[in-house]
């Protein structure tokens, strides 16, 4: 699966990362998954479409690989990002609802996980690091923006219904304070009963955000986790709803415009 990465180079100081929008499964892995696993329900459905052309000139780093093969937004060591809370592994063994995704006895061995790290996790981050270096050479400050979405209600992962917009900056560690204020101010402006938000709630930013966010070095990192109800149907066949999505796309586009204005400051 040498074509699992897609990179679009832009010249603005913003990189969009899309680590969980892929649906591909290598044959040798698909054969080991049960029906739950082959359904790949935990995909960040339509994330590429949601962000397509929402802000001109951005760089995009995305993988077409399903997170069930390996989660490129997890610490490659396997350490958890949220101690004491339920989460999925580097190579997930269950779906978000806690149901096994592998046939009994077919779970990946440590050696198989190591191979997946080498084939998929490492190249994804090498590509991202190359884009960070390229844009950092052109701009005094850049932003790594991690694009995510998730079903609104997953009792195993969080109680009740998730807010529509979930801003993650590892409690302010991965961006300049001004960027956090820009995001929060915009969310307050657009907030409605069905477009609520929270900053650094259940999702404070994954490994990508925490790994690359170094504001003092001119590299900021920000994660937006959108509740999928805001732009699509949250059940198979996971239909994209243009009428809902356009409002969200407008908010995302305005957020990126304000971010870029500050970065070019």
Residue-wise pLDDT tens for the chain (265 aa)? 458 999 999 999 999 999 999 999 989 999 999 999 999 999 999 999 999 999 999 999 999 999 999 999 999 988 877 777 768 899 999 999 999 999 999 999 999 999 999 999 999 999 999 999 999 999 999 999 999 999 999 999 999 999 999 999 999 999 999 999 999 999 999 999 999 999 999 999 999 999 999 999 999 999 999 999 999 999 999 999 999 999 999 999 999 999 999 999 9
Beta-strand relationship, 165-168 and 219-227: antiparallel
Cα distance between residue 150 and residue 228, in whole Å? 5
Residue 192 CB neighbour total at 10 angstroms: 8
| CA-wise closest residue to 50 among 262, 260, 256 | 256
Residue 186, Cα to own-chain centre: how many angstroms? 20
Task: Provide the sign of the torsion angle of the four alpha carbons 60, 63, 68, 72, taken in this order.
Answer: negative
The β-bridge partners of 150 are 227
Provide the whole-model pTM. 0.96
CATH code of domain 5-264: 3.40.630.40
Q: Which helix (H) or strand (E) holds 144?
A: strand 142-150
């Amino acid at each position: 699966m040498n074509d699992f990465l897609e990179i679009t180079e832009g010249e603005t100081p913003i990189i969009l990362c899309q680590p969980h929008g892929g649906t591909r499964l290598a044959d040798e892995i698909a054969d080991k998954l049960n029906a739950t696993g082959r359904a790949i329900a935990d995909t960040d459905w339509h994330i590429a479409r949601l962000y397509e052309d929402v802000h001109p000139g951005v760089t995009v780093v995305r993988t077409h690989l399903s997170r069930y093969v390996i989660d490129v937004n997890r610490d490659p060591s396997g350490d958890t990002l949220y101690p004491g809370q339920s989460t999925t592994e580097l190579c997930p063994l269950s779906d978000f609802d806690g149901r096994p995704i592998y046939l009994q006895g077919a779970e990946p061995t440590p050696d198989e996980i190591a191979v997946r790290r080498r084939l998929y996790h490492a190249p994804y981050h090498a590509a991202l690091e190359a884009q960070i270096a390229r844009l950092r050479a052109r701009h005094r400050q850049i932003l790594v923006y991690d694009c995510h979405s998730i079903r609104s209600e997953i009792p195993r992962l969080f109680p009740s219904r998730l807010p529509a917009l979930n801003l993650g900056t590892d409690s302010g560690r991965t961006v300049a304070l001004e960027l956090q204020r820009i995001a929060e101010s915009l969310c307050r402006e657009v907030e409605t009963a069905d477009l609520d938000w929270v900053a650094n709630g259940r999702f404070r930013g994954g490994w990508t955000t925490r790994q690359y966010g170094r504001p003092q070095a001119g590299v900021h990192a920000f994660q937006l986790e959108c509740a999928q109800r805001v732009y699509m149907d949250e059940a198979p066949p996971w239909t994209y709803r243009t009428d809902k999505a356009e409002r969200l796309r407008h908010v995302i586009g305005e957020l990126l415009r304000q971010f870029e204005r500050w970065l070019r400051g």
